[in-house]
């Protein structure tokens, strides 16, 4: 029986780095790093009945946090109707080796979409190339309700590691390795405080969070 756990961050990063296509490799790096983003928040073209929230080259800028250089990416949150959220990453390679190349790739796009294709393009690529073959990620136990009645309970199980699983792995890394709390995750991932902490929505009215609230935690050597 396969282990009910996420694969290691090192393993997934190595597989992404082995992708020969520059656009697909950087697309997956962006999907992983930029706020545990949904692939629809990365790709610049939409499928039928969808809306694309992918960034343009102008959505990346430089900033500083004390003596540290920072790349700030302006992302849009798909499940919150495109609500913007800034994602800050340290540019020093000892903290995040993908930041500089991702920032440079954004700048090359200038005013155009950074990843001008639909989410099906990277999905088909990694499926055909078997990029994540053999990897799985866990799905927690959940219930299914129909017409107000409990229809079934699905036990904890695993699924093949796909693009969506990058969100789960990044969120786990932010908590386990970098020490993010619920407020940090809400800021970084574009979630509401309610969904991140299980609190009432009133916290979203009074908590004003920016990237500087979590950035110091990212200054941890890999």
Evaluate whether residue 170 is within a structural domain. yes
The confidence score (pLDDT) of residue 204 equals 46
Evaluate whether residue 37 is within a structural domain. yes
Q: Where is average pLDDT lowest: 4-18, 62-76, 112-126, 138-152?
A: 138-152
Judge contact between 202 and 40, C-beta under 8 A: no
CATH number for the domain that contains residue 21: 1.10.443.10
User: Model confidence at 47, in pLDDT bands (50, 70, 90)?
Assistant: confident
Domain tally for the chain?
1
Residue-wise pLDDT for 92-120, tens only, equals 999 999 999 999 999 999 999 999 999 89
Evaluate whether residue 4 is within a structural domain. no
Q: Which of 122-136, 139-153, 197-211 has the highest mean pLDDT?
A: 122-136
Evaluate whether residue 195 is within a structural domain. yes
Evaluate whether residue 82 is within a structural domain. yes
pLDDT at 43 over 50: yes
Full residue range of the structural domain in which residue 54 is found: 9-218
Angle, CA 113 vertex, CA 44 and CA 18 arms, to 5°: 80
Residue-wise pLDDT for 5-37, tens only, equals 889 999 999 999 999 999 999 999 999 999 655
User: Model confidence at 77, in pLDDT bands (50, 70, 90)?
Assistant: confident
Distances (CA, A) of 96 to 13, 69, 70, 89, 183: 12, 12, 11, 7, 22
Evaluate whether residue 1 is within a structural domain. no
Residue by residue, what is the 3-state secondary structure of 96-128? CCCHHHHHHHHHHHCCCECCCCCCHHHHHHHHH
Q: Closest Cα to residue 105, out of 17, 26, 39, 13?
A: 26
Average pLDDT over residues 125-142: 91
Evaluate whether residue 2 is within a structural domain. no
Tokens 């959940």 correspond to what residue?
142
Evaluate whether residue 63 is within a structural domain. yes
User: Model confidence at 52, in pLDDT bands (50, 70, 90)?
Assistant: confident
Q: Which residue has the higher pLDDT, 77 or 134?
A: 134
Using DSSP's 3-state secondary structure scheme, residue 151 falls into: strand
Judge contact between 42 and 25, C-beta under 8 A: no
């Amino acid at each position: 029986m396969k282990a009910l756990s996420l694969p290691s961050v090192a393993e997934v990063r190595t597989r992404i780095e082995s992708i020969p296509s520059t656009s697909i490799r950087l697309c997956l790096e962006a999907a992983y790093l930029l706020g545990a983003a949904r692939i629809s928040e990365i790709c610049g073209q939409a499928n039928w009945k969808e809306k694309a929230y992918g960034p343009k080259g102008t959505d990346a800028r430089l900033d500083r946090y004390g003596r540290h250089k920072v790349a700030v990416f302006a992302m849009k949150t798909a499940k919150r109707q495109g609500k913007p959220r800034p994602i800050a990453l340290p540019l020093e390679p000892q903290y995040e080796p993908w930041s500089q190349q991702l920032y440079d790739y954004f700048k090359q796009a200038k005013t155009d979409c950074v990843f001008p294709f639909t989410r099906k393009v990277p999905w088909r690529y990694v499926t055909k190339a078997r990029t994540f073959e053999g990897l799985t990620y866990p799905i927690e136990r959940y219930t299914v309700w129909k017409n107000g009645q409990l229809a079934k309970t699905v036990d904890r199980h695993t699924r093949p590691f796909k693009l969506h699983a990058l969100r789960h792995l990044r969120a786990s890394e932010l908590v386990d390795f970098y020490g993010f709390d619920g407020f940090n995750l809400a800021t970084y991932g574009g979630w509401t405080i309610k969904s991140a902490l299980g609190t009432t929505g009133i916290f979203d009215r009074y908590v004003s969070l920016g990237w500087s609230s979590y950035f110091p935690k990212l200054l941890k050597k890999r």
